[in-house]
Amino acid sequence: MKTRRHTVAVPHGDRIGTWKVDEHLAAGTFTTVYAAHRTHDTPLATTH
């Protein structure tokens, strides 16, 4: 049986919202993990 990858490739430097992709870290059956950094000084979460 041949296994195919079903993860999404995101190129280095692509932006997702206020995040910029730095590098690919790992990939599995259901997910792909990337290192990224925020491009603006926006808070990660706000509490009230």
Q: What is the extent of the structural domain holding 11?
A: 1-42
Domain count, the chain: 1
Residue 48 in any domain: the answer is: no
> Which tokens belong to 13?
């430097």
1-48 tens-digit pLDDT: 455 555 678 899 999 888 899 999 988 878 889 999 988 876 666 565
Residue 47 in any domain: the answer is: no
Residue 15 in any domain: the answer is: yes
Rounded to whole angstroms, the Cα distance separating 8 from 18 reads 19
Q: What is the pLDDT of residue 15?
A: 93
Residue 31 in any domain: the answer is: yes
pTM of the model: 0.63
Residue 33 in any domain: the answer is: yes
24-35 tens-digit pLDDT: 998 887 888 999
